[in-house]
Amino acid sequence: MGESIALSVPANPKQARSKKTKEKIVQAAIQLFRQRGYEKTTSNDIASEAGVSVGSFYVYFTDKRQLLLTIFDRLADELYKNIFDGLKPEHLFDSNLRRRIKQAVANTIIDKQKHSGLHRVVSELLLKDADFAARHKAVMVRSIAKLQELISLADKAGLTWNIDVEAAAFIVQRVVFDVSQDYVTGCCEFDKERAIEALADMIYRFVFKPRD
Amino acid sequence: MGESIALSVPANPKQARSKKTKEKIVQAAIQLFRQRGYEKTTSNDIASEAGVSVGSFYVYFTDKRQLLLTIFDRLADELYKNIFDGLKPEHLFDSNLRRRIKQAVANTIIDKQKHSGLHRVVSELLLKDADFAARHKAVMVRSIAKLQELISLADKAGLTWNIDVEAAAFIVQRVVFDVSQDYVTGCCEFDKERAIEALADMIYRFVFKPRD
Amino acid sequence: MGESIALSVPANPKQARSKKTKEKIVQAAIQLFRQRGYEKTTSNDIASEAGVSVGSFYVYFTDKRQLLLTIFDRLADELYKNIFDGLKPEHLFDSNLRRRIKQAVANTIIDKQKHSGLHRVVSELLLKDADFAARHKAVMVRSIAKLQELISLADKAGLTWNIDVEAAAFIVQRVVFDVSQDYVTGCCEFDKERAIEALADMIYRFVFKPRD
Amino acid sequence: MGESIALSVPANPKQARSKKTKEKIVQAAIQLFRQRGYEKTTSNDIASEAGVSVGSFYVYFTDKRQLLLTIFDRLADELYKNIFDGLKPEHLFDSNLRRRIKQAVANTIIDKQKHSGLHRVVSELLLKDADFAARHKAVMVRSIAKLQELISLADKAGLTWNIDVEAAAFIVQRVVFDVSQDYVTGCCEFDKERAIEALADMIYRFVFKPRD
DNA sequence: GATGAATGAGCGTTCATTCAT
DNA sequence: GATGAATGAACGCTCATTCAT
């Protein structure tokens, strides 16, 4: 068809080139950040790895930090969705709630690992960069609030132990995110499948009374 | 006694002065690391804060990194003791096991907070420095092994659910250390007392069957 | 007439377009130089302000410097005319010679102020660029020669004190150009009208004997 | 004498070395600024010319600009003194007032030439750096005020023409400083002695009525 | 001719480290 | 041992200029 020909000949070939270059830089950055961390990766390194000049780097990004800040927001959104899309209020009454919890835990770990290099780098900045820390905190607070909503519902439905709902939401969120992060930092190695199982068990037994 | 004489009149006054200088440097480093983090603290800053010359700094330490490595080892040992000194095999059969667990959790958080600045700094390096990462991992592995020993005992005594002992040890250790670390990085703020309570509950319910 | 046809239908429309593009660049350069000075105006800025590509900039000008050099020549010619068109040998015997002098002084100051931004920029380069300095010097020398011619005539006609004609020409030229430049650089602020009056008085009393 | 021995063995040889290094940098800066101007002289160039490392440059000066700012203040003070130390109110009634004026003019030119390279460089910055411009303006204003004081006195004593005292002070100051600056920028070359003579004549005839 | 993405030498600056005193 | 002036490699970043389209 004529249309497919039109698609294969982009309106503006220059913009396509730009996009490609930008992507080359992003990919090079991800790779180097993964290998060396944020600080030890220089903008010259990134450009060189991407096969472009330093000048090009600064055409597309104001600096190293801004590159990462942008990526961070994307990551955070994706992660949030991956976790909570499979964890709706109605699921609380499912017979397979436990499996759902396990799935949410697994999703968190899997998602973090998928972008392992970036999560490492982000956490490197979290400790030094107030902006990163603030954004990260906001994401955590949002997740905790979401969990609290769910647990609170379960609580009202008499599904849970007599617990401190706020504290439970806080702890559960921390526990899942932190262990996921551990798999990212590589600070410990334990069979992922068994760890997920244990984590899900722990959360389930902590919050919910045994059913039937 | 000869010993007390030796202590009050050091055989070598120079060595005493050395030790004092070294300690001044360490203390200055701790203070500055706490305030500014590792990267933003220069060796000149440390020397200047300690009231010694940069030259002296390099007499006692090969570099900034080695100084931190030393500090790290001290920290790790102290933390390990604080946690496990109150958690012996015999405690498993105590009626107040739960309180013991809570105490161990509290100890971890308190200890980390006591040296909050340093833990931050160490975690800054963990992500970039293989040596730090390795030492840190070793400490984690050691803690996990210790926990596994305890849980295994409990398991054999029929105190626990039918659980994956290894996975449980791993998860419990991660959970406690990570949440403690969260209080260090300031990534989230929740009333410590309630968090400790929740964490202890979670661990207890996860591992142990309800008693009578 | 053929001429009017030629004007309304240019032989080569491309050349007309070229000229227009070139002029757009020149105007953009003038505006930006005025606002930011020479160094702080990049060639990318100029092209962008002119609404053309950097590439086009380099089609019409070898570089930023050459652009300014062109502008400089225009400026210098215009200034020279403004001053000396009202100062002819025959005016020396006019009864209103003093008014003529005042007018020449005023013209110099007014002309410089009209292109104030550009004169600033030119003087920025004068100190660093030998070519600019040389051209500027040539203009000065030409002005001094013109003045010397006039003063020499007056001298021969017995209108002046017994003065060093060459030195007088030199000083008078410097004085007028320099004070004009002061109003350009904004290094001092004094009511222009009174300054012009004073300057004219000074020159008149210096060179000419009182008349009648 | 013991004292001379003490003097030849400075209390702190390190401070002497520092001072020497700093001076080497200043001298190198002056030389290079002279040759290439401010912008074209890099801090690396200065360090290299001074035979020290870039690091040393930044030990003694926060940056290139601060180096020049410091020097500027010194220059300005010295110049002010050189001019006005020989031009006191009482001199107005001297029979050799004209010689005094000539001397002040000569001092200005000579002083500027003595530090010719620096004055060039300062004037380079005057056009781009608000701080420099402001400081320079302040010096000019101070000089004009001083001159106005003198001319005003002469005016009250009936020594002058019926002139606009403020305008006269302004113009005289500008004229002298600007012509001096011309000798610094090298924008014109005329025998200095004759130029000074002419300038002094001009000022004298402009302000003062002929004396007997 | 016109475009604008790409270039890369070179800038100002920092700081871990050395070494003459 | 102690000092601190000196070092210089290496960083992040700019911008005049080129050249494939």
**One-letter-per-residue 3-state SS of chain A:** CHHHHHHHCCCCHHHHHHHHHHHHHHHHHHHHHHHHCCCCCCHHHHHHHHCCCHHHHHHHCCCHHHHHHHHHHHHHHHHHHHHHCCCCHHHHHCCCHHHHHHHHHHHHHHHHHHCHHHHHHHHHHHCCCHHHHHHHHHHHHHHHHHHHHHHHHHHHCCCECCCCHHHHHHHHHHHHHHHHHHHHHCCCCCCHHHHHHHHHHHHHHHHECCCC
Please state, in angstroms and rounded to a whole number, the distance separating the CA atoms of residues C38 and C65: 9
- Please name the nucleotide lying closest to D13, CA to C1': E21
Q: Is D212 on the interface with C (CB under 8 A)?
A: no
pLDDT at C180: 96
Dihedral sign of CA atoms A86, A88, A92, A93 in order = negative
Least confident piece of the model among A188-202, C11-25, D34-48: C11-25
pLDDT higher than threshold 60 for residue D87: yes
Of A163, A168, A198, the CB nearest to B168: A198
Nearest CB among A137, A170, A194 relative to B167 is that of A194
Question: Residue B210 gets which letter from DSSP?
Answer: P
C37 pLDDT band (50/70/90 cuts)? Answer: confident
Mean pLDDT of all residues in C61-85: 88
CA distance C67 to C62: 8
- What's the rounded mean pLDDT across residues C133-157? 94
Name the range with the highest mean pLDDT among C107-116, D8-17, D20-29, D191-200: D191-200
Mean pLDDT by 10 residues, chain A (212 residues): 44 79 90 84 93 95 89 86 87 90 93 86 84 91 95 95 96 97 89 97 95 72
pLDDT at position A11 is 58
Helix (H) or strand (E) holding D170: helix D165-185
Q: Is B189 helix (H, G, I), strand (E, B) or coil?
A: coil
B170 interaction partners in chain A (CB closer than 8 Å): 188, 190, 195, 198
Most confident range, picked from A25-34, D8-17, D119-128:
A25-34
> Which residues does chain B have with pLDDT short of 50?
1-10
Which amino acid belongs to residue B152?
S
B63-207 — its CATH code?
1.10.357.10
CA distance D24 to chain C (A): 24
Q: Measuring from the CA of residue D54 to each C1', which nucleotide is nearest?
A: F8
Among candidates D38, D87, D123, D117, which has minimal Cα distance to D200?
Answer: D87
pLDDT in tens, D97-108: 999 999 999 999
- The H-or-E segment that residue D29 falls in is helix D13-36
Which residue in A204, A123, A130, A134 sits closest to A163, CA to CA? A204
Placement of tokens 């294969």 in the chain: A8
Evaluate if the CB of D17 falls below 7 Å from strand F: yes
As a whole number of angstroms, the distance between CA A183 and CA A116 comes to 8
Q: Is the pLDDT of residue D44 over 90?
A: yes
Distance from CA of D8 to the nearest CA of C (A): 44
Q: Per-domain residue ranges for chain D? A: 1-61, 63-207
Q: Which of residues 115-134 of B touch A (CB under 8 A)?
A: 120, 123-124, 126-128, 133
Tell me, rounded to whole angstroms, the distance of Cα B93 from its chain centroid: 27
Q: D1-61, which class in CATH?
A: mainly alpha
pLDDT in the model for residue B8: 47
Q: For residues A158 and A60, what is the distance between their CA atoms, to the nearest angstrom?
A: 54
Nearest CB among B197, B203, B206 relative to A167 is that of B197
Give the Cα separation of A180 and C147 in Å (integer): 86
d(CA C109, CA B57): 64
Backbone angles phi, psi at D160, to 5 degrees: -105, 170
What's the pLDDT score for residue C6? 40
Query: How far apart are alpha carbons C69 and C61 in whole angstroms?
Result: 11
Kindly state the helix (H) or strand (E) to which residue D156 belongs, with its residue range: helix D130-156
Do the Cβ atoms of C187 and D136 come closer than 8 Å?
A: yes
SS3 at position B96 = coil
DSSP letters spanning chain C: -HHHHHHHS-S-HHHHHHHHHHHHHHHHHHHHHHHH-STT--HHHHHHHHTS-HHHHHHH-S-HHHHHHHHHHHHHHHHHHHHHTT--GGGGGSTTHHHHHHHHHHHHHHHHHHTHHHHHHHHHHHTT-HHHHHHHHHHHHHHHHHHHHHHHHHHHTT-B-S--HHHHHHHHHHHHHHHHHHHHHTS----HHHHHHHHHHHHHHHHBPPP-
Name the band, by pLDDT with cuts 50, 70 and 90, for residue D3.
Answer: very low
pLDDT at D141 over 80: yes
What count of residues does chain B have?
A: 212
Do residues C36 and C120 make contact, with C-beta atoms less than 8 angstroms apart? no
**With an 8 Å Cβ cutoff, are B179 and A175 in contact?**
yes
Question: How far is residue A205's CA from residue B207's CA, in Å, rounded to a whole number?
Answer: 9
Nearest DNA or RNA nucleotide to A60 (CA to C1')? E5
Q: How far is Cα D89 from Cα A165, in angstroms, rounded to an integer? A: 89
C42 touches strand F (CB under 7 A): yes
Given D163, D182, D186, which is nearest C174 (Cβ)?
Answer: D182
Q: Tell how far CA C115 is from the center of its chain.
A: 8
List of chain C residues whose C-beta atoms are within 8 Å of the C-beta of residue D206:
198, 201-202, 205-206
Predicted confidence at residue B10, as pLDDT, reads 47
Mean pLDDT of D177-194: 92
**Smallest Cα distance from D58 to chain C, Å:** 24
Q: What is the pLDDT of residues C84-131, one digit of tens each?
A: 887 889 999 988 899 999 999 999 999 898 888 888 888 888 887 888
Of D126, D71, A99, D30, the C-alpha closest to C184 is D126
Whether C54 CB is under 7 Å from strand E = yes
Which pLDDT score is estimated for A122? 87
Q: Give φ, ψ of B160 to 5 degrees.
A: -105, 165
Q: What is the CA radius of gyration of chain B?
A: 21
| Rounded distance between C-alpha atoms, residue A97 and residue A202, angstroms | 14
- Contacts C–D by Cβ distance under 8 A: 129
Q: Which residue type does A97 have?
A: L
What CA–CA distance (Å, rounded) separates D79 from D143? 10
SS3 B208: strand
User: What mean pLDDT is predicted for residues C184-194?
Assistant: 91
CA C64 to chain centre: 20
- Cβ of D64 < 7 Å from strand E? yes
Q: Given an 8 Å threshold on Cβ–Cβ distance, is C182 in contact with D178? A: yes
* b/e map C61-88, b = 16+ CB within 10 Å: beebeebbbebbeebbeebeebbbeebe
**16-75 of chain A touching strand F, CB 7 A cut-off:** 41-45, 54-55, 58-59, 63-64
Phi-psi sector, B52: left (phi>0), alpha (psi -120 to 50), beta: beta
The beta-carbon neighbor of B127 closest among A163, A179, A185 is A185
Residues of chain D with pLDDT > 90, as a percent, come to 53
Eight-state DSSP code of residue B42: -
pLDDT at position A140 is 94
Of B18-27, B34-43, C141-150, D121-130, the range with the lowest mean pLDDT is D121-130
- C-alpha triplet D164, D165, D171: angle, nearest 5°: 90
pLDDT at B128: 79
Instruction: Write down the CATH number for the domain with range C2-13+17-60.
Output: 1.10.10.60
Look-up of token digits 């320099």: C178
CA–CA distance, B110 with B157 (Å, rounded to integer)? 31
Instruction: Tell if the CB–CB gap between B167 and A140 is shorter than 8 Å.
Output: no
Q: Are D52 and D93 in contact (CB under 8 A)?
A: no
d(CA B108, CA B98): 16
pLDDT at C212: 65
> What's the gap between Cα A68 and its chain centre?
13
- Please judge whether A126 and B201 are an interchain contact, meaning their C-beta atoms are less than 8 angstroms apart: no
Phi first, then psi: give them for residue D208, nearest 5 degrees. -100, 145
What pLDDT was estimated at residue D142?
A: 94
Q: Give residue C82's pLDDT band: very low, low, confident or very high (50, 70, 90).
A: confident
| B11 contacts chain A (CB < 8 A) | no
Number of H helices, E strands in chain B: 10, 0
D129 band by pLDDT with thresholds 50, 70 and 90? confident
Mean local confidence (pLDDT), C135-140: 92
Distance, CA of C125 to C1' of F11, in Å: 31
Q: Give partners of A (≥3 CB pairs < 8 A).
A: B
Q: Is D7's pLDDT higher than 90?
A: no
* Predicted pLDDT at C20: 87
Looking at this protein, which amino acid is placed at residue C210? P
**Amino acid A35: pLDDT:** 82
CA-nearest residue of chain D to C141? D188
- Check A127 against B185: CB less than 8 A apart: yes
Q: State whether residue D199 sits within 8 Å of chain C by CB.
A: yes
Place of tokens 């499979």: A86
d(CA B23, CA B13): 15
Residue A160 β-bridge partners: A208
Domain pair A1-61 / A63-207, same fold: no
For C64-207, the fitting CATH number among 1.10.357.10, 1.10.287.130, 2.40.50.100, 3.40.640.10 is 1.10.357.10
Q: Does D179 lie at the interface with C, CB-CB under 8 angstroms? A: yes
Q: Which nucleotides on strand F sit less than 7 A from a protein beta carbon? A: 1-21
